[in-house]
A and B are shown apart, each in its own frame.
Chain A
Amino acid sequence: MKGLFVSPSPHRAADNSTAKIMLMVIIALIPAAMAGCVFFGPRAALVMSVCIVSCVVFEALCRIIMKKEQTVSDLSAIVTGLLLGMNLPASVPVYVAVIGSFVAIVIVKQLFGGIGQNFANPAIAARIVLMLSFTSYMSNNWVVPYWYSDVVDAKTGATPLAAEWLTYTENGAAYKMAPFTLGEMFFGETGGCIGETCAAALIVGGIFLIIVRVISPATPVAFIGSFALLTFLYTGSGVETLYGVLAGGLLIGAFFMATDYATTPLTAKGKIIFGIGCGVITFVIRTFGSYPEGVSFSILIMNLLTPYIDRLTRTVPFGAKKAERSGN
């Protein structure tokens, strides 16, 4: 009998693929993206759509120009576009969103070889480039939730991290009051980027990814845990700690950006180191830096350290003996 297939073992493969993993990430992001649309209106949907479409187009064009196999169907460009859109304020001009997509896909991802080869998270790098290049669009014009419904020009206000805490004295004691309640923070009725404000939706999405085993809980737990611990030690206030955890990009960063496969360490030990590094840097920037937010920078810095963390956290093979010293 001829015409038999011959291949090396194993002859069975798990029912999984890059596209399936990316689809899980997209599903996990949908609740937070929807919450963004509810709070910030149709413009939020427009920004996210522009990011997704432009990311996919840039990805397809890059692969064509570089004469490489087409990778649009792995859905990774959609994930990048969605994450980027969720990391922009709803008021950002469309051309800024397109520039962000260009930076993410062309410069950060494809110029380094495409999926799996990039050294930094494309959405994070693009957000930082936009933040430095279009600072006014990216940091002052925060749309306030629900204002789109009654006025043409969206009202703007400060984000939870930029807003001043109110101080007042009562019976001779000084109190601090948060500009937003923890309830508002948890459900996302605050100013901020489209996808980062609704903590509840982000936590649901993150837990979903942990349950379907797309991400390991090591990174988010280490990231959020180390940040919370440092904040609590510094402020001594449980409310301020919780406020800090719920504010800004910490949750979206910890669950969706610090868990990116290509740009974070391989082993569990490495992921914990990565998470702790992110938590510490975020705390330092938020507390002592001139930027109100430090999540993107912390992840970018740890992305750069990933090859070193990988080298330091190699697994110890079962029954391995220490290498003999070379030379004798």
Chain B
Amino acid sequence: MNKLNGIKLRHDKGTKDCETADFPLPKSVVVPMSQHMGAPCGCIVKKGDTVKVGQKIGDTDAFMSAPIHSPVSGTVTDITDFLLANGASCEAVIIESDGEQTVCPDIAPPEITDSQSLIAAVRESGLTGLGGAGFPTHIKLNYDAVKTPVDTLIINAAECEPYITSDYREMLESPTDVIEGILMVQKYLGIPLCKLCIEDNKPEAISLMKSKTEDLKSIDVVTLRSSYPQGAEKVIVYSATGRIVAEGELPIHQGVIVMNVSTVASIYRYSRTGMPLVSRRITVAGDAVAKNAGNYFVPIGTRVSEILEYCGASDAKKVLYGGPMMGICLYDTEQPIIKNNNAILAFKEGKMPETTACIRCGKCVRTCPFNLMPVAIENAYKANDVEELKRLKVMLCMNCGCCSYACPAHRPLAEINQLAKALIPRK
């Protein structure tokens, strides 16, 4: 098995020993009705309503969606149009907290007896992938076992982006939740083998998970080389199983499901408590963070400005949702934490190095995990040559950013790949 290309990054995981603390309860939260790819929810509360923690406030009949719950107890003060950091706009519910955190009386552990009740419970929990992409979890689990049988559950604990340690802390702080979650998914979906994949820069997590799974034959702890983007879905499937998720395929077509480690632990916690996804663990780090860098349980909807203020990073010049390689820039720190944010990074310097002419060094080709040719894609994009872009398979680009990172001329190759994708008409 050949190893895929990638890059070596400085890990900067200075928060790895920071035990997760509860973030102070915000006075008010902004809960957007679109927190993941797929259909946005419709708001089911109105201005002036009182809500309790865990009460459903957004839902939809659309297939590709997960409901949204109130992270605080208090009063709905407004429902507004909201422009998200990714450029989409949706409704957002603004809730003023009463500081009581009264739990919604409907909250009760779900009854899970088979695959359908597990999937229904996961949907009700509002769970989406916690690793970054935010795919609604119940959809991933709801596959046709006859058409696409699954023999391996891959738990993604690679956490290959620099700075972020939230999945690492999940494993160290709640190893039992992780393992029980895995066993639940395996049991109800009938998946014989689980590969729990951790990068080799987290030896404590590897040894802890190994010792916890000693007696469990169905869970295999796999040590992966630390190389970015080891945690990208197709990359981790290949690294863990040698299977190639081909163009236009999902991991399910290769008999695997990939789930983030914090997501699978959340399934178990929901099954025990019935408390939906209303808060999550995030890492706060970056060179603009003057104090309190670390890991926090933050209510969904907490404004990033409050986090920055708490961590002495109010003068940051660049603030990211997620890691430095694939994270999204915030245009405004009034943006809230949403379900798929695993980190808030704040930096003093925002400018990227100046772009110069391509010298055809070929580094972009040599670093691309999928063997694409960003230099050729850039030329075809400039020439508006759609046929050539199709031949160059630009649609396979996952925007991992290795090409832009490695380019000595600092050309925005990853960005150009995304622009080039937009030129190709969808079938």
B351: interface (CB < 8 Å) = yes
**Residue B405 interfacial (CB < 8 Å):** yes
Asked whether B247 lies within 8 Å of A266 as measured between CB atoms, the reply is no
Whether B414 lies near A8 (C-beta < 8 A) is yes
One of B92-100, B147-155, B358-366 at the interface:
B358-366
Chain A residue contacts of B401, Cβ below 8 A: 9-10
Interface residues of A in 1-55 (CB under 8 A from B): 1-14, 16-18, 20-21
Provide the residues of chain B in CB contact with A266, threshold 8 Å: 360, 362, 365, 373, 375-376
With A13-B353, A314-B373 known as contacts, the answer to whether A18 contacts B318 (CB < 8 A) is no
Indicate whether A21 sits within 8 Å of B333 (C-beta atoms), given known contacts A262-B359, A320-B396.
Answer: no
Find out whether the CB atom of A71 lies under 8 angstroms from the CB atom of B357: yes
Query: Interface readout for A247-270 with B: 1 if CB under 8 Å, 0 if not?
Result: 000000000000001100011000
Q: Does B425 contact A (CB under 8 A)?
A: no
B17 within 8 A of A: no
Cβ of A116 within 8 Å of any chain B Cβ, yes or no, is yes
Q: Is the CB of A317 within 8 A of B305?
A: no
Note all chain A residues with C-beta closer than 8 A to B329.
4-8, 11
- Set of chain B residues within 8 Å of A267, measured between Cβ atoms: 362, 365
Of all chain A residues, the one with the shortest Cβ separation from B358 is: A116
* A261–B406 alpha-carbon span in the complex (Å): 15
> Are A18 and B247 within 8 A (Cβ)?
no
Residue pair A318, B333 in contact (C-beta under 8 Å): no
Chain A residues lying within 8 Å of B415, measured Cβ to Cβ, are 8
Number of A residues whose C-beta is below 8 Å from B? 39
Task: Say if the beta carbon of B290 comes within 8 Å of chain A.
Answer: no
A14-B406 contact in complex given A4-B330, A71-B357, C-beta closer than 8 Å = yes
Q: Are B393 and A9 in contact (CB under 8 A)?
A: no
A13 lies within 8 A of B331 (CB): no
Contacts of A117 in B (CB 8 A): 357
Of all chain A residues, the one with the shortest Cβ separation from B354 is A17
Q: Are B396 and A12 closer than 8 Å at their CB atoms?
A: no
Residues of B within 8 A of A8 (CB): 329, 412, 414-415, 418
B281-326 residues with Cβ-Cβ distance < 8 A to A are 305, 308, 314, 316-320, 324-326
Which residues of B line the A interface, CB within 8 A?
4, 7, 9, 162, 234, 238, 244-249, 305, 308, 314, 316-320, 324-333, 347, 350-353, 356-362, 365, 368-373, 375-376, 390-393, 396, 399, 401, 404-410, 412, 414-415, 418
Known A21-B361, A315-B373; 8 more pairs at CB < 8 Å? A13-B353, A16-B406, A21-B408, A76-B359, A262-B360, A266-B362, A318-B234, A320-B246
A contacts, CB < 8 Å to B: 1-14, 16-18, 20-21, 71, 74, 76, 114-117, 261-262, 266-267, 314-321, 323
5 tightest A-B CB contacts, nearest first: A5-B350, A10-B401, A319-B246, A318-B370, A315-B371
